[in-house]
Structure 1
Amino acid sequence: WVPEFRALGAISPLNEFINGSNIIADSNYFSGIWDTNVLDSTVFGIPWYVDTRLLFYRKDILESIGHKNAPKTWDELYDVSVKIKNKFNDKNKYAFFIPTNEWAPFIIFGLQNGAGLLKNNDSYGNFSDRLFRESFDYLAKFYYEGLAPIDLQQVLNLYQAFAEGYFSLYITGPWNVSEMQKRLPAELQDKWMTAPLPSPDSNYPGYSLAGGASLVLNKKSPNKYYAWKWIEFLSTKKIQLEFYNLVSSLPAVKSVWKDSTFTKNKYMTAFYDQLQKTKPTPKIPEWEQIVFSKIQQYAELVAANKLSTIKALTLLDKDVNKILEKRRWMLSNK
């Protein structure tokens, strides 16, 4: 929401506050997360808690096909998926759950492949470009080869499906650590694990999304000094840890991750590693409209083999260009 609030002129630049602070500095934070708050070299928000996506997988099933660790490359991810499918030899069981109503995996794999999602100062779609098309083609083959389910009605209960081995690999976020611990049966609690995302090359791990929430200053506030002191208070190691213990939101301050709360949590290690490699999505107000209304629409059509990847992404660019029409007008009239 930082780009939206900035576009409305509702939030204050924070560079001067940061320069005078003994508590807040960019080096205290994960670089990809910090970058989500920077617009045109100006900082408008301070990360409060963080979020990203990584791989949840059935450790026991991967071990049964000869893989002691999660896949580290795209090639390994595909190879593991094929082996899982062959192991069960069941048309009603799959390897990799890639929900077509979730835009994140499609954007993540594009970012990993170096795709520029938008172009010309974020004023035109760039999804039909070769790099994004390669990543989209890569994911599409999981549907085409029966490695991923197409019909979302086949997964009415995510946790039951994961427990039953209906799928063994799933990209999701930190909230599902506690959900898996609550919902999976006791006999499976040592049979699943988290891992950073695979990479298109040997540079492991691959990038994921930079998410979370940030603290900002109201531009019209008459009490900016005290509001900034509150932001500093919420950014201390002690309060960041207390906040995590209360609501399980991952801390934004890196030093907090050295606490035994995280170092002794086997599921959290992967999140710390993944947070070292995140990228922000385009920092424009129209981004949510693009991904929620358009990415998912064309992902469903490609997964069902109703449109080729190139046709779908060409149409996606056309729709995105319409969404960004006002942005182009505003840029041209600055």
Structure 2
Amino acid sequence: MNLSRRSMIGGIAALPLALAGGCGARADQGITIWAMGNEAASLPRLLADLNRPAGAPAVTVQPLPWSAAHEKLLTGFAGGSLPRIGQVGNSWIAELAAIGAIAPVPSAVHGLLTDQFPAVVETNRIGAAVWAIPWYVDTRLQFYRTDLFARAGHAAPPLEWDAWKRALHRVKALGGAGDFAVLLPVNEFEQLLTIALSAGARLLRDDGARGAFSEPEFLAALAFYKSLFDERLAPVASATQISNLWNEFARGTFAIFTSGPWTVGDLRARLPAEMQGRWGTAPNPGPRGIGSAAPGGSSLVVFRGSHAAAGDGDDPSWDLISRLLSPRAQLRFQQLTGDLPARRSVWTQAGLARDPVFASFATQLEHATAVPKVPEWERIVTEMQIVAERMVRGQFTVAQAGREIDRRADRLLEKRRWMLERGQAI
């Protein structure tokens, strides 16, 4: 259902009240791209390598810091100053689609979605439309000490929860009194979310209008998460209490931590030479085999109000995105940035499929699960982790924690229920 910008903005509590403006059509014939981080720095070189047709519009890259990008997108929408194309973190797509800031992907370019990881594409599918084209991907999995697991009798961390936990006890027994098996910072939601997705928890119900944190699957995940602290396999500590992650990992203070592909370069740069053959990556464990994870990364969008918003796949903006997603451009992009390609076929060309460290990420992405696609999601998982930490510290039982997370989620979703009742939510 199409809504006025005023009603869209008024219906979403998470957005600033100042959002009352709109995106006007651009009079210029050039294409501006907003991009962030290393991708913004590498994009001009990638664009220079593209084979673009004669007379194609000039392209300008405007870099944004990640720390300010979300607010810049919202204020740009309010002031009608959004560019033609933008790099958008996948967790922001639901919010931008809900307020009407981005245009749906036209059917003429849906072919770009066929060589992709299904969970990443599903993240960008809201309602009946796809709203963004995945550009690069990431997810979180286990980084582990191969030597410590070998000493405990395992070539790699087992992939079933029960066997995985038994292996952790063996690894912990190898260390000293202050050593643990796994690091699960109590101020980070990603680890509990991974366990919940692996347990098959749906997290929200009623079309994303209410929490599902009291359902059996999530309670099983909470109980398993809590047991890792109760059995002293994980320290009750926040990330800020770990003085140096790399040093503690090298010392064997813990044998597993969860992170994403950006950590590969950090470990190769920060660990001493003698440690380089002593770590690896592995998919997350699950109740009955390989577990799940949330898909991440960034996608390319076309903003409403630009010339491409009419949905014409031949528009220069969509043509440029198509060229940026070609296998050749994806390979060059991976070489420039080190990012994991969105297109699965490029993994082989880039040598990632043969690299055991990166091959685990491909396996994990094949088992990933899209998280609920509601604008309030980031606030909900923040509340989830606040309650989970209090549970770990003994303030809630598992059942009480589930009910408390539901209560907090339902409060955050009040506006969504109001909009659903009026047919104003996508």
Q: Name structure 1 gaps, 5 residues minimum.
A: none
1:257 aligns with 2:341: no
Superposition pairs of residues 239-254 of structure 1, within 5 angstroms: 239-254=329-344
Query: 30, 37, 43: which one pairs with 2:117?
Result: 30
Counterpart contact for 2:331–2:350, Cα < 8 Å: no
Q: Does 1:123 align with 2:212?
A: no
Question: What does residue 39 of structure 1 align with?
Answer: 126
Residue 32 of structure 2 corresponds to: none
Structure 1 stretches of 4+ with a deviation exceeding 6 A read none
CA distance in 2, matches of 1:205, 1:312: 26
Matches within 5 A, 1:1-334: 1-19=92-110, 24-88=111-175, 90-152=176-238, 154-201=241-288, 204-223=289-308, 225-292=315-382, 294-334=383-423
Deviation at 1:151, TM superposition (A): 2.2
Give the 3 Å change call, closer, same or farther, for CA 165–287 of structure 1 in structure 2. Answer: same
Asked if 1 retains the 8 angstrom alpha-carbon contact of 2:196 and 2:217, the reply is yes
Comparing 111-120 with 215-224, which one deviates more in the overlay?
Answer: 215-224
Q: Does the 8 Å contact 2:112/2:133 carry over to 1?
A: no
Find the residue that maps to 1:150 and give its secondary structure.
Answer: coil
Give 1:87 deviation, angstroms: 2.0
Q: Which runs of 5+ in 2 are unaligned?
A: 1-91, 310-314
TM-score, with structure 2 as normaliser? 0.74
The one-letter code sitting in structure 1 at the alignment partner of 2:342 is A
Counterparts of 1:37 and 1:155, CA distance in 2: 35
Q: Do the aligned residues in 1 keep the contact of 2:142 with 2:281 (CA within 8 Å)?
A: yes
Letter in 2 for 1:135: A
Secondary structure of 1:208's match?
Answer: coil
CA contact (8 A) 1:117 1:282 kept: yes
CA distance in 2, matches of 1:324, 1:91: 44
Greater CA drift, 74-83 or 303-312? 303-312
RCO higher in structure (CA 8 A, sep ≥6): 1
Deviations 1:221-278 (A, max 9, x none): 1245111011101101111111112221110001101125313423111111111111
**Cα RMSD (Å) of the superposition?**
1.3
Distance 2:308 2:374 in 1: 28
What is the aligned length?
326
- SS in structure 2 opposite 1:216? strand
Displacement of 1:296 in angstroms is 1.9
Conserved? CA contact 2:183–2:257, under 8 Å: yes
Partners in 2 of 1:154 and 1:226 — Cα distance? Answer: 50
Distance 1:160 1:228 in 2: 46
In the aligned structure 1, how far is the partner of 2:301 from the partner of 2:350?
Answer: 30
Quote the offset at 1:69 in angstroms.
2.0
- Compare 271-280 and 298-307 and name the one that shifted more: 298-307
Partner of 2:10: none
- What is the one-letter code of the residue matched to 1:2? I
* Secondary structure at the counterpart of residue 109 of structure 1: helix
Q: Do the aligned residues in 2 keep the contact of 1:101 with 1:296 (CA within 8 Å)?
A: yes
| Larger Rg, first or second structure (1 or 2) | 2
SS in 2 for 1:50: strand
- State the TM-score, normalized to the length of structure 1: 0.94
Instruction: Please give the per-residue CA displacement for 1:109-149, whole angstroms capped at 9, x wherever unaligned.
Output: 11111111011111011111111010110011110111101
